[in-house]
């Protein structure tokens, strides 16, 4: 697992853009955050164990909610959470709706063209969720076969990965909350693709669902925090924050609370 994570990080590093001189001359976001006494954090509120909003209580929970609050404490400012999604991620960050996106964002070549990332704090492989009553999908090898329907959420890293990997199954790309889950539960899709954090929490709350794991490493992706390119001062402060939460144990402690310690990047 560790070797796979390192290889994934190396591959991504080769495509990360370098900030231009013009970008380096942009306004210092850190000064603005400190002056306004608030850091705006983009989250996806449907992300179990990462940045999840309970629909009954409206309370936010997850490892990156914890870490966003730790960032605010370290800066001495309040935290304002801004609802986003993977489909809106790039527009929200580059459009200045938030100062940083903190919802376990997979570092992909496409995103790296528009966003600047911190060093990763998590890394996950891809998993599938099917229904307990589904007779077509018994193992991972059954997924990519004629007649199978594979659902993914639009804008997630699973969309380009499955477009590339699937040969015989039909790919269904959905853009509404919990649509992929509903398609599988109804039987209109055979599986939906997700990651370790989402799958673990989802299975604990959906008695109809069943996990389908790859027999070996399938496609490990490092997860990090994302910001608008061009501000070296802000990026350096965020990198220091990530290094601090790894070194002092805050990241691992939160990961254990949310049962994510197997995917923490040291």
User: pLDDT of 189-224, one tens digit each?
Assistant: 999 999 999 999 899 999 999 999 999 999 999 999
What pLDDT, on the 0 to 100 scale, is given for residue 21? 38
Q: How confident is the model at residue 174 (pLDDT cuts 50, 70, 90)?
A: very high
To the nearest whole percent, how much of the chain has pLDDT over 70? 90
- Average pLDDT value for the chain: 92
Q: What is the C-alpha separation between 139 and 136, in angstroms, rounded?
A: 9
What pLDDT, on the 0 to 100 scale, is given for residue 176? 86
Q: What does the pLDDT look like over 91-141, one tens digit per residue?
A: 999 999 999 999 999 999 999 999 999 999 999 999 999 999 999 999 999
* Mean pLDDT, residues 246-250: 99
What pLDDT, on the 0 to 100 scale, is given for residue 38? 99
* Mean pLDDT, residues 35-57: 97
Q: What is the C-alpha separation between 126 and 199, in angstroms, rounded?
A: 10
248 phi/psi in degrees, rounded to 5: -90, 0
9 phi/psi in degrees, rounded to 5: -65, -40
Query: Is beta strand 51-53 parallel, antiparallel or unpaired with respect to 60-61?
Result: antiparallel
Residue 239 has pLDDT above 60, yes or no: yes
What pLDDT, on the 0 to 100 scale, is given for residue 23? 43
The domains found in the chain, sorted by start residue, are 2-123+223-263 (3.40.190.10), 126-212 (3.40.190.10)
* Mean pLDDT, residues 243-257: 99
Q: How confident is the model at residue 12 (pLDDT cuts 50, 70, 90)?
A: low
Q: What is the C-alpha separation between 189 and 27, in angstroms, rounded?
A: 47
Q: How confident is the model at residue 172 (pLDDT cuts 50, 70, 90)?
A: very high
DSSP state of 24: H
DSSP 140-186: GGGTSSTT-EEEEETTSTHHHHHHHH-SSSEEEEE-STTHHHHHHHH
What pLDDT, on the 0 to 100 scale, is given for residue 14? 43
* Helix/strand/coil percentages in the chain, nearest 5: 40, 25, 35
CA angle 141, 143, 149 (to 5 degrees): 170
């Amino acid at each position: 697992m560790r070797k796979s994570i390192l290889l994934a990080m190396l591959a991504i590093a080769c495509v990360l853009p370098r900030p231009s001189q013009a970008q380096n001359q942009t306004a210092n976001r850190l000064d603005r955050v400190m002056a306004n006494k608030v850091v705006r954090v983009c989250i996806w509120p449907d992300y179990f164990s990462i940045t999840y909003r309970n629909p009954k209580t409206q309370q936010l929970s997850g490892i990156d909610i914890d870490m966003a609050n730790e960032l605010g404490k370290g800066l001495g400012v309040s935290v304002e959470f801004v609802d986003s999604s993977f489909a809106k991620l790039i527009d929200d960050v580059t459009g200045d709706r938030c100062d940083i996106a903190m919802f376990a964002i997979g570092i992909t070549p496409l995103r790296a063209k528009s966003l600047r990332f911190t060093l990763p704090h998590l890394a996950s492989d891809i998993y599938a969720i099917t229904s307990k009553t589904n007779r077509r999908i018994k193992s991972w090898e059954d997924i990519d076969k004629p007649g199978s329907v594979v659902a993914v959420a639009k804008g997630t890293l699973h969309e380009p990965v499955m477009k590339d990997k699937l040969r015989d199954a039909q790919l269904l790309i959905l853009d509404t909350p919990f649509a992929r889950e509903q398609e599988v539960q109804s039987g209109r899709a055979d599986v939906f693709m997700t990651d370790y954090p989402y799958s673990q929490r989802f299975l604990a709350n959906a008695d109809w669902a069943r996990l389908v794991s790859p027999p070996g490493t399938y496609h490990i992706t490092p997860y990090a925090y994302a910001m608008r390119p061009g501000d070296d001062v802000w990026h350096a402060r965020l990198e220091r924050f990530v290094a601090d939460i790894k070194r002092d144990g805050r990241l691992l402690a939160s990961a254990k609370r949310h049962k994510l310690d197997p995917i923490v990047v040291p």
